[in-house]
Structure 1
Amino acid sequence: MPDTRVTVWNEFVHEQESETVAEIYPDGIHGAIADALEERGFDTETATLQEPEHGLTEDVLAETDVLTWWGHTAHDEVDDAVAERVVEAVRDGMGLLVLHSAHFSKVFKRLMGTSCSLKWREAAERERLWVIEPSHPIADGIDDCIELDEAEMYGERFDIPQPETLVFNSWFEGGEVFRSGCTYRRGSGRIFYFRPGHETYPVYHNEEIRNVLANAVEWAAPSDDRATSSGGNTDPREDIDTSDERTVH
């Protein structure tokens, strides 16, 4: 875990435009998340939309084991080439944590292949984040549920593929439910979508949420024993005649 390198990405727009958000996250949402992960021993850097190449150059991604992504109002401002670079890095083995409204990011939609649409409501309502798979590493140390006093409601139907594992399921005070903690694999990379984290509520200061983020980073990080495969032209396993010249390659 101490050698795991994490890049915390945030569009960093609300914090610069809203006094309410800036008061809750004076160092940006990325700062709060980075602090939570640094406290738990991870080697953490941050990147934002406003930086050249959004702070996600080829060199940065090559040095990143796990990327966390928070976005909301500026999805369309993410350069397509950078989004595709991130997608390819995930397929090559980089872990990805997709947080809250990043469900609608270019990166997540490309990896899911669906609209990723959902129902929503802002009413500062109570949320119970129920643990569905207590034996999963991401739920390690979490009791039956995490209760948040104020949350933005996300409701079904959430247009995503069937998760590999549903770790958390949410209930909201208004009556809706939502698949709030979903794992996927794309290529050699692991992906975790985690719903909590609206910009006007102090969700990322909650210790249980911070513990989930740390657990998720550890789970998503590449490991030496992770299965990999390679493509391309290959030699036969058996002795055969390979002199066929009809190829156009």
Structure 2
Amino acid sequence: MANGIRVTVWNENRHEKTNEKVKSIYPRGIHGAIGDFLSREGMDVTTATLDEAEHGLTEEVLARTDVLIWWGHQAHDEVKEEIVERVQKRVLEGMGLIVLHSGHFSKIFKKLMGTTCDLKWRDIGETERIWTVSPRHPIAEGIGESIRLEKEEMYGEFFDIPEPEELVFVSWFEGGEVFRSGCTYTRGLGKVFYFRPGHETYPTYHQPEVQKVISNAVRWAASTAGNTPVFGNVEPAENLQRNMKS
């Protein structure tokens, strides 16, 4: 499943309306920038934002979404609980979810992780080097040993998340901190990937290596290889020799 993957890029889309620097970097919004490069990869992209009806995440939109990408920051509390539950249900049914940067504090990520998802942070425009620690993982394909970002917001450990099933990337920052910046999980039938970089005042999502990671992650999260599990009451798989004596 390479091309034709149905992706919905969700962004709260608030900074782009109020901050001129963010608007100049992402004139069509962060969702527009991400949607553009995924479309160039041949993916079927839809965008959705916080202020749309049902946050743009209607039952119909989610039903036709293979992978949902989530970016949020200052308006996590405005996301309605019913929409969070709707997204969680789709993840458990098999929809992929990619959570970016400050989406670590989103209601949906915290609900799926079951922890605070808290961390240290500092925004003074430090250099970040994202090291590939699982080079054979599909999300790391074509990335090489590391990605250098000239300026980014710092996130530092301890990051209060469950132990990742797979740790793909680890970040180092100019100020000395390190951070688990590429983490995978399985929730129900759905695949979840958290990817750290992407502060709104830096052109991170225009960097080709970052775009490559996100594109790889969409393909990974969309994969439905394997059997669908069977639940509920079932007939025996073998013939049972029952003792009929009372």
The interval holding the TM-score normalised by the smaller chain is: over 0.9
Alpha-carbon offset, residue 228 of structure 1 = 2.4
Superposition deviation, residue 52 in structure 1: 0.6
Q: Over the residues paired in the alignment, what is the CA RMSD in angstroms?
A: 1.3
- Is 1:2 equivalent to 2:35 in the alignment? no
Tell me how far apart the structure 1 counterparts of residues 226 and 157 of structure 2 sit (CA, whole Å): 33
Shift in Å, 1:205:
0.3
Describe the SS at the equivalent of 1:59.
helix
One-letter identity of the residue aligned with 1:137: P
- Offset, 1:239: 5.5
1:246: which partner in 2? Answer: none
Contact 1:93/1:222, CA 8 A, preserved across alignment: no
Are 2:195 and 1:204 equivalent residues in the alignment? no
Q: Is contact 1:127–1:150 with CA below 8 Å preserved after alignment?
A: yes
Amino acid at match of 1:145: S
Letter in 2 for 1:94: M
Q: Which residue of 2 aligns with 1:145?
A: 146
> What CA distance in whole angstroms lies between the structure 1 residues aligned with 2:70 and 2:122?
22
Report 1:82-101 matches (<5 A): 82-101=83-102
Partner AA of 1:229 in structure 2: P
Partner-residue secondary structure (3-state), 2:16:
helix
Instruction: Give, in angstroms, the shift of residue 231 of structure 1.
Output: 1.9
CA distance in 2: counterparts of 1:103 and 1:19, whole angstroms: 25
Aligned counterpart, 2:229:
229
Tell me what 1:176 maps to. 177
- TM-score normalised by L of structure 2: 0.95
CA contact (8 A) 1:189 1:222 kept: no
Preserved contact between residue 163 and residue 182 of structure 1 (Cα < 8 Å): yes
1:240 CA displacement: 6.2
Structure 1: any 5+ residue segments left out of the alignment?
243-249
Take 2:163 and 2:24, find their aligned partners in 1: how far apart are those partners?
37
State the distance in 2 between where 1:18 and 1:134 align.
37
8 Å CA contact retained: 1:129, 1:170: yes
For structure 2, the residue ranges without an aligned partner over 5 or more in a row are: none
- Whole-angstrom CA distance in 1 between matches of 2:241 and 2:84: 44
Letter in 1 for 2:15: H
Question: 2: distance between equivalents of 1:16 and 1:41?
Answer: 29
Residue 52 (structure 2) aligns with: 51
Structure 1 stretches of 4+ with a deviation exceeding 3 A read 236-242
Q: Distance in 2 between matches of 1:155 and 1:24?
A: 25
AA partner of residue 211 (structure 1): K
1:232 Cα deviation (Å)?
A: 2.2
What is the alpha-carbon distance in structure 1 between the residues aligned to residue 126 and residue 238 of structure 2? 64
Match of 2:162 in 1: 161
Equivalent position of 2:108 in the other structure: 107
TM-score, with length taken from structure 1: 0.94
**Mapped contact 1:188–1:227 kept (Cα < 8 A):** no
In 2, Cα distance between equivalents of 1:105 and 1:227: 31
The AA in structure 2 aligned to 1:18 is N
